[in-house]
Amino acid sequence: GIQVEQSPPDLILQEGANSTLRCNFSDSVNNLQWFHQNPWGQLINLFYIPSGTKQNGRLSATTVATERYSLLYISSSQTTDSGVYFCAAGTASKLTFGTGTRLQVTL
């Protein structure tokens, strides 16, 4: 099956800093999504982005499908951005989640 790798595994930022999270996947996909899991376990969908670039407030994402990677940019980070960020990739309804990037934003 498809392999999904994320980097870095852990990230500590001061409030206001910017960061880039990376997701590499091993096969062609037509479904790629980024999620944020808060400390209570709730998964929030950030982007559905099998290709191209999208922006939503302080977050943006880019997927280069031909090179099999996706990037999530977080600008002007806030403490509420803390949690685990997952990339999930696959075909149609079958998503494989990466191992995640655990982000801690400190004051």
Partner 1 sequence: DTEVTQTPKHLVMGMTNKKSLKCEQHMGHRAMYWYKQKAKKPPELMFVYSYEKLSINESVPSRFSPECPNSSLLNLHLHALQPEDSALYLCASSQEARGETQYFGPGTRLLVL
| Run of H or E including 102 | strand 101-106
* Piece in contact with partner 1 (CB under 8 A), picked from 17-25, 53-61, 66-74, 88-96: 88-96
Q: Which is nearer to partner 1, 17 or 37 (CB)?
A: 37
State the minimum distance, in angstroms, from the CB of residue 6 to partner 1. 9
State the minimum distance, in angstroms, from the CB of residue 102 to partner 1. 9
- Residue 21's closest CA among 68, 64, 58, 70? 70
Site for partner 1 in 28-47 (CB under 8 A): 30-31, 33, 35, 40-45
- Residue 56's closest CA among 78, 40, 76, 74? 74
| Run of H or E including 53 | strand 52-56
Q: Which is nearer to partner 1, 19 or 96 (CB)?
A: 96
